Amino acid sequence: MLVLSRKANESIRIDSNIEISILEIKKDSVKIAIKAPEDIKILRSEIYDIIKEENKKSILQDKQHIKNNIHKIKSLFDYFIK
């Protein structure tokens, strides 16, 4: 991890297409601005974590849905074969 110190109105460049600027520094917060191409997702960590958890839940639900459908198909197959 790279750690840098910046003051208000200073910025950091990432590659040639991302710029992070320090807009304001208060007692317990820092206001930043991020310029980046539209195809780059920028999320607050807490939002990213929520999305990640929701995706995990969705995958588990999809797996259960698939298992249920397989069971139904097997039951239908058994019904028509026997």
Per-residue model confidence as pLDDT tens digits over 3-61: 999 999 999 999 999 999 999 999 999 999 999 999 999 999 999 999 999 888 888 77
- Quick one: pLDDT at residue 38? 95
**What's the pLDDT score for residue 82?**
67
Dump pLDDT digits (tens) for 54-80. 888 888 777 778 888 888 888 877 777
* Residue for token pair 């074969």: 81
Q: Which residues contact 32 (CB under 8 A, 6 or more apart)?
A: 20, 21, 22, 23
> What's residue 26's pLDDT?
95
Reported in sequence order, the residue ranges of 1-82 that DSSP labels E, i.e. its strands, are: 11-14, 18-25, 30-35
List residues bridging with 12 in a β-sheet.
20
